[in-house]
Every structure is written in C-alpha cells, then in structure tokens.
Amino acid sequence: MTDDLPPAPNDLTGDLQALKAETDQALAAAPDLRAWDAVRIAVLGRSGKLTMLLRDLGKTPPEQRRERGAALNRLKDALTTAIDARRATLEDAALDARLASERIDPTLPPRPREAGLIHPIARTMEEIAAIFGAMGCTVSDGPDVESDWYNFGALNIPAHHPARADHDTFYLPPRGDAAAANSPPVLRTHTSPVQIRTMLLQPPPIRTVVIGRTYRADHDATHSPMFHQCEGLVIDRDITLGHLKGCLTDFLRAFFGLADLPVRFRSSYFPFTEPSMEVDIGWDRRTGELGKGGDWLEILGSGMVHPRVLANCGIDPREWQGFAFGMGVERITMLKHGIPDLRPFYESDIRWLRHYGFNPLAPTMLHEGV
C-alpha cells in the first residue's frame, strides 16, 4: 500500500520526518475508510498533530521560522497527498468487495423450479377430459357417498348381483328409519350412478363424461380400495353401436398416441347395458408394448344403455337410445407410462412423484397429442 504514496520529502528533519513515517504506517495499517478517517483526523484535524505543529510555528525563533514554515508546508502537502491516496485505495477496495459479493452472472442457467408436479392420475384425467371434450362431451360429477338406488337399483343391478356382495362394497352406517337400514348409503363402487344423476338432471340429448373416485373393498398390487374411473354417456335419438365403437376407438388411439392401435369389441354382460361389450387393445404380453405382439388386453366395459335404465330416469326408450362406458383411470395410466405397480400412486413418495409427475406449465394440448 505504501507503494502508491509519494516519497517522503527528503529534506524533512527530526520530528517532521517522524510524523510523516508514523502517518504512513498508520495509513497502511488502516483496513477500511473508518480507520482511515481516524488517521486523517489525528493528523489534519483541529487538534491533529500537524495542526498543532503549524500552530506552534509562532513560537519558533524568528531566524528559523521561515525555513520551519516552508518545511511544515511541504510536510502538509506530503501528508495530504498520502491521506488522499490511501482513501482512493480503500474506496477502490470497498467497491471491488461490493462488486464481488453482489455479482450476478447472467450466463447462469435458470434455477430449477421448486414448484410441484402434476400427479399421473390427475394428468390422465385432464387428458380424458381434453379428448372427450373435443368430441363435444361435457364433464359431469356426483357424490362419492351414494344411495343404494343410484349405485345399484336404478342401474338395473338386481339384489343378488355379485357387485352388491359385502366384500366388494363399502357400506356406511344407515341413516333414518328401519326401512333405510336395509339399503344403507355406500361409497360408490363405480361412476355409473352419475349416469342416473345426469339423466335425471337434464333431458336428452346428452354427451358427457364423468371422471372421479370410486371405492371397492379390495387391496393388492393391482387393486386399491380407492381408485378412479371414467364414465361416458351419450344419449340421442339415433345413437348406435357404431357410434360407441367409433368413439372408443378414437379415444383409445388418441390417449395412447397410437393411430393404428388395434381395438377389439367382445360381447360381455353388464346389468345396465344391452348389448354389452368389453373392449380390448392389442399389446405384447411379454414386453408390455402396446399396439404390437398380437395379444389382447381388456381395458374397459361398455354397451348400449339398457331400456330399463332409461325408463328409470324418465326417458322414453322408444324415443331415445345411447351408449355408456366405464374404465379404470389407474389402469390406462399404468399402461401408457409403463408404471408396473398400482400402490405407489397413493403413497406420496416424492421420488416416485418426481419420476412420473408432469410439468404443471405444460398443459394438456390435443393438437400436440396427449
């Protein structure tokens, strides 16, 4: 630091030389502007050392006064220069330190967002709504706690049907009188009761999908007591099996992103549809690859809405007809993304969610494929 200081005038003598040396040392030792200011005041301040020497000039014998005065002035110049130089150095250092500590690097990549991700179930539900929405369907919903009538009776499920057996259905404590005790409320075992609610709420034509939670007393690697279903209901004057097949084929191909996914309709039985059909897609049983391999995988249930179900909702089956379908949201999600086990869907394991989650800023857009 003393390097930047001007050389001490070599004609200073004795006490003046000592004051110059002492000040240079104090300046060099001052680590910051506050310490520097203390040195400045101690030398040039009102009772500073140089000020005192100047004041004492009057006491100098007249014959030495001129020379002493000139020496003091040279010392004052030298000290002022040294003090100013030290301040410039300290100010530069302070600025450098600030620049270093407050530095921003505009070339750094953006920090990863801390925001959450979309759960694969939620993503699939969005995709279902997007695809059927593009076909002109509304989205309907209903309560998770249903009456026996909505969940079973109105859907033409007779009392002896296995779906009513205790091992499938969660029954809730009965409310009200003794008659109600015979048909206690249930946690809906499928989304089909929303078919009934929708038909009671609005006259046909109807085009709607229902996406929501369902419950069955089942628990293993492929069954969870709570799961999700998607239901579809289309009612109009001239809706046929052909519409059902076209609609579901289009949906499955759009959802799985495979324009030539093989889709097979196989006759089946549901109490609330007639005729009923199970829908299979082509896959390779060995590798799990969809659309290849010549094996078939059952994926959903469907059929033409049973005339008795229409009548139960006050819709004249001689005038109106339509189709309905229901499928498991978890199942198609696992198939689409190669997720081998059902259980982690509900375990909130952050590592699983990071792996299978979806960017919330990349919404479901049909024109990009879902």
* Chain residues in the site for ligand PHE (CB under 6 A): 190, 192, 231, 270, 273, 301-303, 324-326
* DSSP notation for 292-360: -SSEEEEEEEEEEEPHHHHHHTT--TTT-EEEEEEEEHHHHHHHHHT---SGGGGS--HHHHHHH-B-T
Question: Which tokens is 13 given?
Answer: 């003598």
Cβ-proximal residue to ligand PHE, closest one? 326
Report, in Å, the least distance between residue 153 CB and ligand PHE: 14
CA gap 234, 215 in Å, rounded: 24
Residue 270 or residue 320: which is nearer to ligand PHE going by CB? 270
- Least separation in angstroms between residue 293's CB and ligand PHE is 26
**Six token digits for residue 172:** 């809730």
For residue 157, the minimal CB distance to ligand PHE (Å) is 10
C-beta of 119: minimal distance to ligand PHE in Å?
A: 22
Structure-derived torsion over alpha carbons of residues 314, 316, 320, 324, reported in degrees to the nearest 10 = 50
Closer residue to ligand PHE, CB minimum distance, 325 or 356 = 325
The answer to whether the beta carbons of residues 160 and 153 sit under 8 Å apart is no
Q: CB 194 → ligand PHE: shortest distance, Å?
A: 10
Nearer to ligand PHE, 36 or 152 (CB): 152
* 3-state SS, residue 363: coil
Residue 40 or 197 having the CB closest to ligand PHE: 197
Q: Are 339 and 120 in contact (CB under 8 A)?
A: yes
Tell me whether residue 273 or residue 364 sits nearer to ligand PHE (CB atom): 273
Beta bridge partners of 146: 186
